[in-house]
Amino acid sequence: MSLRTDQHRDASATGPPDQPGPIPGTGRAAKASASHAGRAPRSLVPVAAIAVAFLVLPLVGLLQRAPWSDLGSVLRAPAVGDALRLSVVTASASTVACLVLGLPLAWVLARSPFPGRRVVRALVTLPMVLPPVVGGAALLFSLGRRSPLGMVLENAFGITLPFTTTGAILAQTFVAMPFLVITVEGALRTGDRRLEEAATTLGARRWTVLLRVTLPQVAPSVLAGAVLAWARALGEFGATITFAGNLQGRTQTLPLAVYEVLQNDPGAAVVLSLVLVVVSLTVLIALRDRWTPTA
């Protein structure tokens, strides 16, 4: 049985080009090119340099417009502290939600063939292409006070989600979870299965294999997926403002604060954006080194 599903998996792994970049050890081909082919052809370097410039130049634009002399006063504004705290808290909470819900989903998608799996896979990654504003509106129509589900939540449990911090976390989870799911699913689908098979042959139960063999194997991808999800949640704007609204201390995350301030004080907005950049870069650099141990 395991041999048959293995073949199926390999066939489908070469199919959809929906794999995100930072998956370590994606497939045998990737592994082979990493160990044998060595450096990239020289002619690629200028193109890569253009890509770097394209991605980094806007950042330089921000730095150049930053009102360095007002830095202290902008950062001391209470709205900034509130927004930063709220952003870190909601992004972290939604990352936890992504892990709790997204890991089992990734596992099922990767390892349990069922009819319609391709459709389910497409559906759950849809929030990646859906404009976040539309996602927010969809959440409002499905979980808002006037929706059937929202009415049940309000009447039975007294819970309303729009305009609450929980709502902001939900909005972020909605847009961020696909990043975790496809990262982990990719690793599970294409990873080396021989260790698992060995463990099974030696009599380990499914849960034991999952926790002691598979999970450690895909741990770097789980971390990568979680960081991607966290970063996506941290920068989330459209779904949050549409579903959760915009109130300082409750739902006004840093991106929302930037948008508000940008309208009459672009300098202050630049400072807030730089805060977001510094926080994200710190996390990305710190974790990046962990998930690429040979770097």
Partner 1 sequence: MIDHPFAGQVCRVALIVPLLIGLGTGCASDGDDQPSGTYRREGVTGSITVFAAASLTDSFTELGTAFEEANPESTVAFSFGPSSALVTQITEGAPADVIATASTTNMKDLVDADALGGDPTEFATNVLQLAVPPDNPGDIDALDDLADEDLIVALCNEEVPCGKFAREALDKAGVEPSIDSNEEDVRALLTKIEAGEVDVGVVYRTDVEAAGDAVEGIEIPDDQNVTATYPIAVTGEADNAEGARALVDFVLSEDGRAALTEAGFGSP
**11 burial type by CB count under 10 A (0-12 exposed, 13-18 middle, 19+ buried):** exposed
Token readout for 88 is: 């870190």
Q: Figure out which of the listed residues 27, 178, 245, 255 binds partner 1, where binding follows CB under 8 A.
A: 245
Q: Figure out which of the listed residues 162, 178, 225, 235 binds partner 1, where binding follows CB under 8 A.
A: 162
Q: Does 284 bind partner 1 (CB under 8 A)?
A: no
Query: Would you give the binding string for partner 1 spanning residues 121-150, x where CB under 8 A is met?
Result: -------------------xx--xxx----
Q: Does 249 bind partner 1 (CB under 8 A)?
A: no
Q: Does 271 bind partner 1 (CB under 8 A)?
A: no
Distance (Å, whole) CA 256 – CA 269: 10
Number of residues near partner 1 (by CB under 8 A): 24
Q: Does 155 bind partner 1 (CB under 8 A)?
A: no
Do 2 and 200 contact (CB within 8 A), yes or no?
yes
Q: Does 264 bind partner 1 (CB under 8 A)?
A: yes
Distance (Å, whole) CA 135 – CA 238: 8
260 vs 31, 80, 163, 173, 269, CA distance in Å? 46, 12, 17, 23, 8
Q: Which stretch binds partner 1 (CB under 8 A): 89-97, 99-107, 192-200, 244-252?
A: 244-252
Q: Does 166 bind partner 1 (CB under 8 A)?
A: no
Establish how many alpha carbons lie within 13 A of residue 220's alpha carbon, considering only the half-sphere containing its beta carbon: 15
Q: Figure out which of the listed residues 99, 210, 219, 262 binds partner 1, where binding follows CB under 8 A.
A: 262
Distance (Å, whole) CA 49 – CA 157: 55
What kind and span of H or E run contains 197? helix 194-201
Nearer to partner 1 (CB atom), residue 160 or residue 217: 160
Question: Site residues (CB under 8 A) for partner 1?
Answer: 140-141, 144-146, 160, 162-163, 241-242, 244-247, 250-252, 259-264, 266
